[in-house]
Each structure stands twice: as C-alpha cells, then as structure tokens.
Amino acid sequence: MMDFWFFSDLVRMFEYPFIQRTVIVGALVSLCAALLGVSLVLKRYAMIGSGLSNVGFASLAMASAFNLGKTPLRVAIPVVVLAAFLLLRISESSKIKGDSAVALISTSSLAIGSIVIASTTGMNTDVCNYLFGSLLAMSMEDVWLSISLSVVVITLFVVFYNKIFAVTFDETFAAATGSKTGIYNMIIAFLTAITIVVGMRLMGTMLISSLVVFPALTSMRLCKKFSTVTICSAVVSFVCFFIGIVLSFRHDIPAGASIVIVDVAAFIIFSAVSMVGVATGLYKKVFGKQKLGRFL
Amino acid sequence: MALLTCENAAFAYDGKLCVEGLNFEVNAGDYLCIVGENGSGKSTLIKGILNLKQPVSGRVYAGDNLHVTEIGYLPQQTAVSKDFPASVFEVVLSGRLNSRGLLPFYSKRDKEIANENISKLKIENLRNECYRELSGGQQQRALLARALCATKKLLLLDEPTSGLDPAASNELYGIIRQLNRENKITIIMVSHDIHGAIGFASHILHLRSRQLFYGTKEDYINSEAGKKFLRRAGEDDGFLVF
C-alpha cells in the first residue's frame, strides 16, 4: 500500500508545471555537477563551487537591486565565469593557494552582495530563496537557458574527457608532453561556473557545492577507475536529486537541504559498504577478479 | 645531429639566476645522468628540457626529428596522483594524449600501444588494478609505461627511485638499462642516488648552480669534481648504513 501511495504522490507531484521545470533543470544540473565534481575534488578544488556561488549571489543581488531585467541568470553567468577565470589566475600565480583564493573571492563577494541587499530591498523572501534554494525559482526562460547550458557542459565534458583525466591526474606530465593544460583548466573552470549558476537558484548558494562534492566522494568509496567513478557519480547524483526533490515536495522542506541530506545518506551507505567489504574480505571476492571488479 | 642540445643556457626564478653555463648535448642511445645536490638546478633544467620554462639566455633545442612533446617524462610523484582512483590501463593510456592533438578519443592503435608498453614493463597482471593501491615500485612501472607511450626516442626521468626500497630501486634501474640497451631509448635521468644512478650511465652532467662537469662516465670518475662528489656521496651512504 505504501508503494501505491508513493506512486500516486509522484503522479500528483508531476502535475505541477513548476515541479516539471525544476526536475528537468535539476536533473541536468546534478549530472553536470557530478561529472565535473570528480575532477574538482581530485584537484583539491572542492570548495570552488561554494566560492563561485557566492559570486553568483552577489551578482543576483545586484541584478535585482538595479532591476536588470527579469532573467537574472543572464547577469550572473558572465560575472561568475569571470570570477572562475580570476580564481584560476590567482591560484596559478602561486602566491595565493587555491583554498585561500576561493576564500578571498567567496567572502568578498558575499560582503558585496549583503551590502547591496541591505541598502536596497532588505532581507526578504527572494534573498532567502537565493541563499537556500527554492522549487519555485525557475521561470520558463530560465528553464530553456538552463537546458541549453547543461547540454553544452555535458557535450564539452565528453569531448574533453581524456584531456580532463590527464590534466587532473598529472598536470606536469600533460604539460610536458605538449598538452595545453592552461586551456583545459580554463575549460574546467568555465564549465564549473556555468553549472554553479544554473544550479544555485534551485539548491541555494549555501548548498550548491554539495552537488559537486558528494557524488564524487560517494562513488570513490567503491569505484576504482576514473571512468567508473565518473559514471557512478552521475548516477548517484541523479538518484539522490530525484529522491531529494520528492521528499522536499512531500514534507514541504527546502529542496536544496533535502537533496543534501539524501546525498549524505548515500555517502554513509557507500562508506559502510566499502568498510564492511574490506573488513570481511568480501570485497576482494565480489569485486576482486570477477567481472564486476573489472568494471568497477 | 644530437637529439637534444643545450647551448650556453641559463635559467632563473623570479629574476634570480639559479643555474647557468649549461653546455651539453644528448645523442641517440646515450644514458645521461644529471647529478648534484638539492638546489643545484636539476629540477629547473628538467623544466627547461621539457619546454615548460624558457631559458633567460642561451637555448635548449631538440634535433634529429625529435619534437619536445615527444619526450617521455617520468615526473616525481605528487600528492594528488597518490590517491587517485584510476586503473593502471587508464594511467598508461593517458601517455598517448600528445599524439592525439585535438581529436577527443583514443584510437584502437593507441590502446594497442598502451598494452604493448604494459607488457614491456611486465605489469599485465596489474592492468585493471587501481593505481593508488599499488606499491611504490609498481606505480613507477605504470608511470614508466605511460612515459613510453609518449615517446619512442627519449625518456626523461626525475628521481625515479625516490621513496623506493633498495630492491625496488635496483629493479627499476635494471628496467631502465634494458630500455636503453635493447629498445635503443635515450635516457636522461636526474638523481641524487649517485652510486645507483651512475652505474649504468654513459654520460654525466654535474650541476652546482652552474655546470661543473659534462662528459663520459669514465672521465667523470677521474675528474676533480667527480672524485670529490663520489667520495662525499660515499661518506653519506656509509653514514646512512651505519
């Protein structure tokens, strides 16, 4: 009976156009974030998502304060892309390391954003939605923009997959054998920036980096190859997003928070499976030399 | 014509000269060992050879149909690559990237070459294993196979035995010698493990912020710089053992 209720709930849920929009955009964003997340986590850039989303917050605040049209995404995207390149430049000059560079940009843009808000509209529901995400944030125009951007991100990721692997695994070797590592780093930064901006209306600027970090870390508990880690995090990310959205709708909790909690649960389950597997030696038996092992 | 020529080259960091007066050439089939203490400019020279750093004066150039992107490079291990989820095959295959140019995916031929090099280094049984779970010596073999995927002519090895135990070091030196003798691959190796390193070398380049010595191994052993350095290194070794 439980299953039946759940099913009818699902059907009822999808009758709302705003839910349809959210699910389409959210699913695409989770996919993009998970793909890029593997590389970002391994390059020790896990917090770049949080940094860039704060830049996004500042630019959304500006956009609404100065009434720059009804689609604030259009303002936020170029600003955040610029910030991503700047971030890369700062940490490449090696005077300021990656994590400090992220902290610099993130806090300064948060400060700018809050000053702009305080001196114009004040703290209102809109601002709260920016911070913690909302199911209602997407307009139809946002949806089309998000879909086309996600398609761009996924296509570029697939095309540059081997180069992204090489640059992530060993940048010096890649550079030494003639790969233009600077360009591929910029592509990663560019794709990340777009993913963050598209995702942050739904997830909220405070929580968007979870989409980048969790699926990658979760799948690294079990998978041992770059290719399977990438595929597994895409799947984990999508499943967690979907469950999270349904829970959010049913229990009327913020979508971003609900998705993160499901991500946490997935992380704990994967970690437990991996630990139990190693402890009992089952892991070697099941994943060792068998077909599954070759796959993972 | 030499594979690689260094003409009166000097390198600097942030405007500060760190190694100068470099004059040497590497010919096909050579086994050049670059020695010197920490801070003597070895790593800088490597960056120069790989074209990752431009000399402030003089020049470094490749000849004999060798392109700088065709140097097989075995870098020192970084913290990132140590806990990276990747199979040995994925790592080795990434050595083919320089031959791909702008094409996005590897060809069947690339995969064959990766498999050939995996067999050459006798790590077929590790092909599908996770790179981070291998021992230090096995990881170096995988990286050496990757370097071989990037070159047919010249290998550049940066401290290949650092962090390896003596048995694994000797094994690796053996493999490198075999590649040099049987597969006719030119070797440039940087090492501070002087005795292990110069054992198989044909030429020595000794650096201390400038070029102290360049020539054949036999000449080096009889030279002033060589005698001093080998004696000191010998004392260091003795100190370590006892």
The tens digit of pLDDT for each residue in A247-278 reads 888 888 888 889 999 999 999 999 999 888 77
Answer yes or no: is B2 within a domain.
no
SS3 content of chain A, % helix, strand, coil (to 5): 80, 0, 20
Residues B128 and B182 in one domain: no
Sheet holding B16-26, edge to edge: B16-26, B4-13, B57-62
Encode chain A (296 residues) as per-residue pLDDT tens digits: 455 566 777 788 888 888 888 888 889 999 999 999 999 988 888 888 888 989 988 888 888 777 765 667 778 888 999 999 888 777 777 677 777 888 888 899 989 988 988 887 766 667 777 787 776 767 787 788 888 988 999 999 999 999 999 988 888 888 888 888 888 888 888 999 989 988 888 888 888 889 999 999 999 988 889 999 999 999 999 999 999 988 888 888 888 889 999 999 999 999 999 888 777 766 555 555 444 555 55
Answer yes or no: is B1 within a domain.
no
Cβ–Cβ < 8 Å for B68, B51: yes
Selected residue with higher pLDDT from A73 and B85 = B85
The pLDDT score that the predictor gives to residue B82 is 66
The pLDDT score that the predictor gives to residue B145 is 92
Residues B122 and B160 in one domain: no
Answer yes or no: is B71 within a domain.
no
Say if residue B130 is exposed, middle or buried (CB neighbours under 10 Å; 0-12, 13-18, 19+).
middle
Q: Which residue of A has its CA nearest to B106?
A: A162
* Number of folded domains that form chain A: 1
Contact B104 A159 (CB under 8 A): yes
Answer yes or no: is B73 within a domain.
no
The pLDDT score that the predictor gives to residue B242 is 31
DSSP B130: B
Contact B78 A227 (CB under 8 A): no
Q: What is the mean pLDDT of residues B64-86?
A: 77
DSSP per position, B93-112: HGGGHHHHTT--S--HHHHH
Which structural domain range is residue B238 located in? 7-66+153-242
CA distance B149 to A31: 32
Residues B145 and B157 in one domain: no
Residues B197 and B82 in one domain: no
Residues B114 and B146 in one domain: yes
Residues on A contacting B at a C-beta cutoff of 8 Å: 42-44, 158-163, 165-166, 168-170, 172-179, 220, 223-227, 229, 293-294
The pLDDT score that the predictor gives to residue B240 is 39
Which structural domain range is residue A41 located in? 2-295
Domain end call among B120, B136, B152: B152
* Number of folded domains that form chain B: 2
Domain end call among B152, B181, B197: B152
Contact B128 A227 (CB under 8 A): no
Selected residue with higher pLDDT from B145 and A121 = B145
Tens of pLDDT, residue by residue over B97-124, are 887 777 888 889 999 999 999 998 889 8
